[in-house]
Structure 1
Amino acid sequence: MTMDMTTIPNPIYKPGAYFAFNTTLASRALATNDQKLLIIGQRLADSATVDALTPVNVYSDDEAALYFGHGSQAHRMARAAIKANQYIQLTVVGLDDAEGAQAANTKLTISGKATNSGQVRLSVCGTFINVAVASGDTPDDIYKALATAVTADQSLPVTAQTGVIPPAGDDDPSTPILNFTAVNKGTCGNEIAMTVTSTASGLTLEMDPMSGGQGDPSLDAAFSAVFASGHTMILLPYTSDDALAKLSAHLDNVSGPLEQRGAVGVTGWNGTLASGTTLTSKVNAPRISCGWHAGSALPNGELAAIYGAVMASESDPARPLNTLTLPGLDITAQDNWPGRTEQENALMNGLTPFEVDGSVVRIVRAVSTYVKNAAGVTDRSLMDITIIRSLDYVRLACRTRYTQRFPREKLTDARLARIRSELLDVLYSLEQLEIVENVDALKDQLTVTRSLQDDTRAEATIPAAIVRGLHVFAAVIYLM
């Protein structure tokens, strides 16, 4: 509420004392750095209760399953994010599978007969489905048990159906198999990690990785649907050149000087270092961070959801995310753990490595994919994702103070001096929070002047020496 003398009519002829309120000077506090996360992922059109391209707030695993369909990409990403950070403000936009898209699939082939009791253990994205095996059980017995168990766990991103491979010749028998199909069509199904083992003797199990998924949804309509929503972080499951280019363009548009809704994008990568750095070198965007967990059983979308949720847990935009744990990430096989040289290579190429530390996974250093400037020269000015997030917050703090103090003003030299004073006060407050530094040394560079081309416009230059993270400490110990 802002009232001043203009709310009291003039002239007034009836005698009396008339008081209005003016709250423009009521607060000197900085704006809060609230984090609003957005997940974009595929839904299941047959079972979803929220229409495609309709943003909806999600507060629980059950809600996500209801809104987007059990086991859908959108459901599983939301579930992963909420498990990693239960206090996030989360919005999800569901997408329909692309027209003409193909679902990834694989088949399990079991030969022989169980000669003792045991278990067959199926792993789907790190979730284990165990079925008991008795001596004498045939492949058909095991297929039926596995299909029943997979169907019972609605959170899985696959379905299971028994089938047969036709005989190769007239005299050959058909081969029974168990088919697995991704619930969402498109390349996301190729990322579903599946393995199978058996503790029962007499059985031979064969299963190839999921493959054949083709065709991803267009993101144009999704970005249009949320353009004005003001999300500070967008978690995207897709890592194609086209998808990340559109994400980067969307982030630049909403974060630019006209829209001023600063946001960053987060994606994940479970592939090799070489393929990951090839990906980030093409993206080269200061507002996108890609978390790398080599050999993870989780799809890239779920990696992004967990990484983004943990990033949002840090309200101080300048504080490094180093060593923060990533709840819900799987402990990968040791031969997938990146060594020191691989981590250095990842960081210098804009890829954020994760590392296994005992029973948890941690962020090594959260960097953006921005590596080179427009001239193709290496540029480390926006290396850490905290830098662009801090700049967004400085802008938010300055803009909030300006709109509080000067909602409807005349352009005078005295007014310009007051604007400069308020902006300087904001910088001093930011310095106390250790988001910027050296305000006294740089305050002469803070200027508020009249435009030379527009008599109704004021222009400011605001120096912001963003505080960098303390990432490296080097010391020499002298033997005395």
Structure 2
Amino acid sequence: MPISFANIPANIKVPLYWVEVDPSMAGLPTINLRALLVGVKVAAGNAAEDIPLPIGSQAQADQAFGEGSELARMFKAFFANNFANEVWGLPVAEPLAAAAATGDVTITNVPTAAGTIHLYIAGDHVPVQVATTDTIPEIADAIAAAINADVTLPVTAASVTGAVTLTSVFKSVNANDISVSLNYYGSRGGEQTPIGLGIDLPSTGFLTGGTGSPDFDNAILNLGEEPFEYVAMPYTDSNSLFAWDQEFGFTDQGRWGWQRELFGHVFSAKRGLYADLVLFGDQYNSGVESVMALEVASPSPSFEWAAAYAAKAQRALINDPARPLQALTLNQIKAAPIHERFDFVELNSLASNGLAIAKIGADNQPMIAREQTTYQTNLYGQPDDAYELVTTLATLAKLLRNQKHAITSKFPRHKLADDGTKFGAGQAIVTPGIIKAELVSEYQQDMYVGLVENLAAFKQHLIVERDPNDTNRVNVLYPPDLINQLRIFAVLAQFRLQYDRGIDSQIIGQSQPPFNAASGAS
């Protein structure tokens, strides 16, 4: 019996018609590439700590993690940038003995003209109306009331004799990234401090005193083997980055390792001065982590930058993992003022030191300029760009998933024979040559959808062979040529004020057909 049936018995006697359905040649690879946002929850949130939870709306995030918490705010930034793809939250507890961040807004003089205080907390606008009849305590009370009325803010406020003390809703070192500022859009945007009003903000422009980084060990352990492709993890201390690099890296236990084959990327963000960021980037070397550099003066917290970055990466890479992320806008993330943004030299240097960079679009919104990973050197410390860009591993993950689907669907219970073996059509037998043909066919499909190039070279270097020490094993050397991206367009504009007339005449003369004297025609 040449045809290999999986279910119908070979010795069946009962008539007449029996059929088994085989989907091995019909299916296409499908996988739900989830995002995962990781951050601190507060006691008001009802979600269990260290357990991943699917979230479908901002209301669900607020209920699960607590309004104004770090993780709830991350979801706010995520949903502003990605409304269509699946996202989960991984709430972690406030670190043991952690402290909240605080800062004071102090009123020193009453206004001489009525107006609006345009206060910004973590980039969110908090308008407060004031009149000439208001006293200093009344103005402070009004500011505190306006802040507390917006329960989505990451702070609460308390007013005492003209001073408003802001306290972060959650406790961790990232609470120090909550900004306090005035008049983000300036007079051109209709924002200016009421005349005569005296108001002092925290000297650094941010809350201070927040301490503690979460312990991610249990949270990572509880992820199990669930696939999470795009992780927004906002902590950039060495311990946090190391823990997530180990989970997603290339070791035996990592998600990119051979045992797990789950793949995925980690996105984060780091605020700092240019020199500090260069030194920071120079410390790390992970192909699975991408840390966005942002200016000190950006009002939006780094944890919201990280969530927005992951959201746009998920939305774009699901559609096409090989397309660059450049020019994708980070919606509702506020850029630093023009005079406090990184210049070209600084951006280029930051990218050269393993940090992702953003530029500012014409709409004054940040947009991804280069999705750099922190990977910079090989095992011997020599400069290497193998995993330099997020798109490299994103493309490779797509290729390997396509390949795994093809092999596991078409050859799930096959016998293995040498090339040249004569066997009946329909037999569940595979040879190295058949596998090689399948891999070439898959490569052609991958090339058609723009993931790879150079089919001829791929065929030349592809090796499929039986293992000499294990007759039941096939070894494959798979050498895809990943497609590249248009990232630099360089032009040498070699202009002239006047081409040489002699050269022009020669060119014109050479372009004319010879004259035929007999016919009088060219």
Shorter chain as denominator, the TM-score bin is over 0.9
How far apart are residue 206 of structure 1 and its match?
4.2
For residue 254 of structure 1, give the secondary structure of its aligned residue in structure 2.
coil
Which residue does the alignment assign to 1:188?
A: 174
Residue range with higher mean Cα deviation, 440-449 or 306-315 = 440-449
Quick one: which of 15, 32, 36 aligns to 1:38?
36
How far apart are residue 434 of structure 1 and its match?
1.8
- Give the aligned residue type for 2:435: I
In the alignment of these two chains, the number of paired residues is 464
Which residue does the alignment assign to 1:389?
A: 394
Q: Distance in 2 between matches of 1:33 and 1:338?
A: 38
How far apart are residue 405 of structure 1 and its match?
0.5
Asked whether the 8 Å contact 2:266–2:288 carries over to 1, the reply is yes
How far apart are residue 408 of structure 1 and its match?
1.3
* Identity among equivalent pairs (%): 26
Q: Distance in 2 between matches of 1:12 and 1:420?
A: 36
Q: Distance in 1 between matches of 2:199 and 2:331?
A: 35
Which residue does the alignment assign to 1:366?
A: 371
How far apart are residue 177 of structure 1 and its match?
2.0
Stretches of structure 1 that go unaligned for 5 or more consecutive residues are: 164-174
Q: Are 1:6 and 2:20 an aligned pair?
A: no
Quick one: which of 375, 379, 388 aligns to 2:380?
375
Asked whether the 8 Å contact 1:116–1:136 carries over to 2, the reply is no
Q: Normalising by structure 1, what TM-score? A: 0.92
Structure 1 222/376 Cα, relative in aligned 2: closer, same or farther at 3 Å? same
Q: Normalising by structure 2, what TM-score? A: 0.85
Q: Are 1:260 and 2:265 an aligned pair?
A: no
- Give the aligned residue type for 1:10: A
Alignment of 1:21-420 (within 5 A): 21-27=21-27, 29=28, 31-32=29-30, 34-45=32-43, 47-163=44-160, 176-196=162-182, 198-208=193-203, 209-252=206-249, 253-294=254-295, 295-314=297-316, 315-359=319-363, 360-414=365-419, 415=430, 416-420=432-436
For residue 7 of structure 1, give the secondary structure of its aligned residue in structure 2.
coil
Structure 1 477/129 Cα, relative in aligned 2: closer, same or farther at 3 Å? closer
1:181-216 deviation line (CA, Å, top 9, x unaligned): 111101011000112473141534343331111112
For residue 323 of structure 1, give the secondary structure of its aligned residue in structure 2.
coil
For residue 309 of structure 2, give the secondary structure of its aligned residue in structure 1.
helix
Asked whether the 8 Å contact 1:291–1:352 carries over to 2, the reply is yes
Quick one: which of 437, 443, 449 aligns to 1:421?
437
Structure 1 438/202 Cα, relative in aligned 2: closer, same or farther at 3 Å? closer
Asked whether the 8 Å contact 1:57–1:90 carries over to 2, the reply is yes
Q: Distance in 1 between matches of 2:26 and 2:76?
A: 41
Asked whether the 8 Å contact 2:281–2:350 carries over to 1, the reply is no
How far apart are residue 390 of structure 1 and its match?
0.9
Q: Distance in 2 between matches of 1:258 and 1:76?
A: 35
Asked whether the 8 Å contact 2:41–2:170 carries over to 1, the reply is yes
- Give the aligned residue type for 2:478: I
Residue range with higher mean Cα deviation, 5-14 or 334-343 = 5-14
Asked whether the 8 Å contact 1:43–1:95 carries over to 2, the reply is yes
- Give the aligned residue type for 1:182: S
Q: Distance in 1 between matches of 2:80 and 2:303?
A: 14
Asked whether the 8 Å contact 2:109–2:196 carries over to 1, the reply is no
How far apart are residue 441 of structure 1 and its match?
2.0
Asked whether the 8 Å contact 1:241–1:282 carries over to 2, the reply is no
How far apart are residue 451 of structure 1 and its match?
1.7
Asked whether the 8 Å contact 1:59–1:82 carries over to 2, the reply is no
1:298-334 deviation line (CA, Å, top 9, x unaligned): 1211101111111112121111111122211113201
Residue range with higher mean Cα deviation, 82-91 or 132-141 = 132-141
How far apart are residue 113 of structure 1 and its match?
3.2
For residue 5 of structure 1, give the secondary structure of its aligned residue in structure 2.
coil
- Give the aligned residue type for 2:417: T
**Structure having the higher Rg:** 2
Q: Are 1:441 and 2:457 an aligned pair?
A: yes
Asked whether the 8 Å contact 1:36–1:231 carries over to 2, the reply is yes
Stretches of structure 2 that go unaligned for 5 or more consecutive residues are: 184-192, 420-429, 500-522
- Give the aligned residue type for 2:198: L
Asked whether the 8 Å contact 1:219–1:243 carries over to 2, the reply is yes
Which residue does the alignment assign to 2:507?
A: none
Q: Distance in 1 between matches of 2:444 and 2:456?
A: 9
Quick one: which of 462, 469, 472 aligns to 1:456?
472
For residue 111 of structure 1, give the secondary structure of its aligned residue in structure 2.
strand
How far apart are residue 32 of structure 1 and its match?
4.2
Which residue does the alignment assign to 2:18?
A: 18
1:80-130 deviation line (CA, Å, top 9, x unaligned): 111111112100011111111111111122223333322333210111212
Q: Distance in 1 between matches of 2:104 and 2:199?
A: 14
Asked whether the 8 Å contact 2:299–2:335 carries over to 1, the reply is no
Q: Distance in 1 between matches of 2:49 and 2:315?
A: 28
Asked whether the 8 Å contact 2:105–2:199 carries over to 1, the reply is no
Q: Distance in 1 between matches of 2:51 and 2:493?
A: 60
Asked whether the 8 Å contact 2:139–2:162 carries over to 1, the reply is no
How far apart are residue 34 of structure 1 and its match?
4.5
Which residue does the alignment assign to 1:172?
A: none
CA RMSD of aligned residues (A): 1.8
Q: Distance in 1 between matches of 2:75 and 2:62?
A: 9
How far apart are residue 4 of structure 1 and its match?
5.9
For residue 211 of structure 1, give the secondary structure of its aligned residue in structure 2.
coil
Which residue does the alignment assign to 1:167?
A: none
1:42-70 deviation line (CA, Å, top 9, x unaligned): 1112x112111221111211111111111
Q: Distance in 1 between matches of 2:415 and 2:307?
A: 47
Q: Distance in 1 between matches of 2:176 and 2:201?
A: 18
Q: Distance in 1 between matches of 2:454 and 2:96?
A: 55
Asked whether the 8 Å contact 1:120–1:200 carries over to 2, the reply is no
